[in-house]
Amino acid sequence: MNYHVLTLFPEMIEQGLGTSILGRAQKSGRITLDAVNIRDYSEDKHMRVDDYPYGGGAGMVMQAEPVYRAYQAVEQKIGHKPRVIYLTPQGRLFDQTMVEELAMEEDLVFLCGHYEGIDERVLEEVVTDYVSIGDYVLTGGELAAMVMIDAISRFVPGVLGSEESAQFESLQDNLLEYPHYSRPEIWRGRAVPEVLLSGDHKKIEAWRREQSVARTKERRPDLMEKQYTVTAAYFSPTEGTKRAAEMLAGELSQTPKYIELTRRRIRRQHVKFGSHDLLIAAAPVYGGQLPGVEGLFENLHGENTPCIVMAAYGNRHYDDTLAQMAKILTQQGFICIGGIAPIIPHIYSDKLGTGRPDGEDAKIFRQFALKIRRRLEDHDFTPAELPGNPSPEPKPMKGAPKFWDGTKCTHCQTCALKCPVGAIDADTMQIREDLCIHCMRCAKVCPAEARSYDASQVKAYLEGNYMARREVECFL
């Protein structure tokens, strides 16, 4: 992360951020700090940068040209138009979601005003974000910029040690942090809560969570309003979709819940969601649409509950799947505020979607999750515009030829039990072709390798046409 601070007091910035964790991060090169003195860009022979305001009134105004020239020097140096943050009480209130969002940039420019402010025209020309750190007025923007840089840097990889960064902390999931205790066990007659001495990690975790919720309710009830319970409900016979859904859920909450719709029994259990829930509904793409599983997602019931639909696919295309999912979930009482189509390994080819979602995909997931978090915090439930036909003609799917080797089969019935559509007869081991969705879960789960399939034909077709890497698409 490279910070560029346009200021009249560069030494204030350099000194303020030169020690402790941020000093260390600069030395190790995780962050760089370039304090640009706006005065160096004055054309005035006395290096003045301010003048009287048009229309009269108290105080001086920073002139447009020196600010603009200082900005231009940064733009030229880095070779692209960066995000430019102007610190002002008129801006959007700085919060944890903004911290994490800004931490994803490579360069950030902070513009610090002084006196009565900066000529409006240069703000219009260069500023991309107006940000306030609180409802009070400072003597200049420098302290506010430093506050922002400190908070953002904590999310730059490598700035915090792994131990520091892995810990639960205030404001993740809009919860305040639980209380901490250290030695001695009894201090001036006050004992450490007993559970912390129990060594039972599960109990300790539950206690900490309880404390967090109680504290937030008591001290910051406004944050409770911003809280959402994230649940990912996924259908995923060979677990590619599951992995993508878990990655997204992990970006949206520290403690997501899961509903495994691959299991027939779970699909029969009805679950209700409220307005403080967020559902991620995830399924793989089969022939450009949802797998032909009767009643998929119909055990989930929302009450104007926000929802993200995820159509995971094997690098060919998702076609109508997102639109189809949105239609079903809307009928179930959800509002689809977002859609995402990640690439996952294709069951019929070891070359398509291999290793996906990968590190690049993770970044896109994170950006998408941050946008969703912002939408939830703003209670903005505008339905997403999703591509495709919401009611496609069902496609008969032939799938690859499947084999069963009676000499290897131990009749453990794992395949029959785990078949997501109950297409395998547990006595005869025969597959009912009218029910089978060709997901190949039976071959994956058979411990004796008695089940297999021959995907050579479809594999050759897919690899001949769809090898070019596709990127994750997000819709809001």
Ligand X SMILES: Cc1cc2nc3c(=O)[nH]c(=O)nc-3n(C[C@H](O)[C@H](O)[C@H](O)COP(=O)(O)O)c2cc1C
| Residue ranges in contact with ligand X by CB under 6 A | 236-241, 284-288, 312-317, 344-347, 353, 397, 399, 438-439
Least distance to ligand X, CB of residue 231, Å: 18
Distance CA 149, CA 146 (A): 5
Shorter beta-carbon distance to ligand X: residue 280 or 344:
344
Q: Nearest to residue 85, comparing CAs of 134, 123, 39?
A: 123
Burial tier of 58 (Cβ tally within 10 Å: 0-12, 13-18, 19+) = exposed
Least distance to ligand X, CB of residue 301, Å: 24
Contacts of 310 (CB under 8 A, 6+ apart): 234, 241, 244, 245, 248, 280, 281, 282, 283, 339, 340, 341, 342
Least distance to ligand X, CB of residue 270, Å: 23
List the structure tokens of 291: 């797998």
Burial tier of 152 (Cβ tally within 10 Å: 0-12, 13-18, 19+) = buried
| Preceding amide of 357 cis, omega within 30 | yes
Least distance to ligand X, CB of residue 285, Å: 4
Distance CA 115, CA 310 (A): 50
Query: Tokens 């090898």 belong to which residue?
Result: 467
Burial tier of 257 (Cβ tally within 10 Å: 0-12, 13-18, 19+) = middle
Shorter beta-carbon distance to ligand X: residue 236 or 253:
236
Distance CA 470, CA 448 (A): 35
Q: Nearest to residue 118, comparing CAs of 77, 74, 70?
A: 70
Shorter beta-carbon distance to ligand X: residue 66 or 288:
288
Least distance to ligand X, CB of residue 127, Å: 42
| Preceding amide of 179 cis, omega within 30 | no
Shorter beta-carbon distance to ligand X: residue 63 or 315:
315
Least distance to ligand X, CB of residue 419, Å: 13
Least distance to ligand X, CB of residue 237, Å: 4
